[in-house]
Copies of this chain bind each other. A is one copy, B any other.
Amino acid sequence: MDNTTADILKRNQLSVTESRKKILDMFLHTRGALAHADIERHSGTDFDRVTVYRTLQTFVEKGIIHTIPTTDNSVRYALCKDECSAGHHHDDHVHFLCDSCGTTYCLDHVMVPSLELPGGFFATQTDVVVSGTCAKCNHA
């Protein structure tokens, strides 16, 4: 496990540090997505706020995690699939935000349909965020 985080970091030409291992570990052990605040809360006094900001930024640049758009001024982050690499994200899957429990899911198997854009518009990325209630909350 500790091995895995170190491996991922090395594979992305990043030096293996305690903070990076721990933050990456959080992502590996979370089904959904994490906001900056989640990480800070969860980590206690392990590392500085600034380190969290810089680590998340680094992970996004390297294509380890990707951002999920939200309407509440709290960007969330989730692990990228293997196909992502530095500077080239391929996260055209659907994100689901549960209004009831607040969890953000990556619906990896629901693909984003291609859209007909008006003339002159060219797309490089498409983000789909669906809100509603998740399977867990519906069965409760």
Q: Does A130 contact B (CB under 8 A)?
A: yes
Contact yes or no, A126 B128, CB < 8 A: yes
Q: Does A2 contact B (CB under 8 A)?
A: no
Q: CB-CB < 8 A to A133: which residues of B?
A: 121-122, 124
Q: How large is the interface on A (under 10, 10 to 19, 20 to 34, 35 or more residues)?
A: 35 or more
Q: What copy number does this chain have within its complex?
A: 2
Contact yes or no, A121 B135, CB < 8 A: yes
Q: Does A3 contact B (CB under 8 A)?
A: no
- From 86 to 127 in chain A, residues with beta carbon under 8 angstroms from any chain B beta carbon are 94, 96, 99, 107, 109-110, 113, 115-127
Contact yes or no, B124 A127, CB < 8 A: no
Q: Does A68 contact B (CB under 8 A)?
A: yes
Q: Nearest residue in B to A128 (C-beta to C-beta)?
A: B128
Q: Does A30 contact B (CB under 8 A)?
A: no
Q: Does A45 contact B (CB under 8 A)?
A: no
- From 23 to 75 in chain A, residues with beta carbon under 8 angstroms from any chain B beta carbon are 67-75
Enumerate 6 A-B pairs (CB-CB under 8 Å) in ascending A order: A69-B70, A72-B75, A121-B135, A125-B132, A126-B128, A127-B128
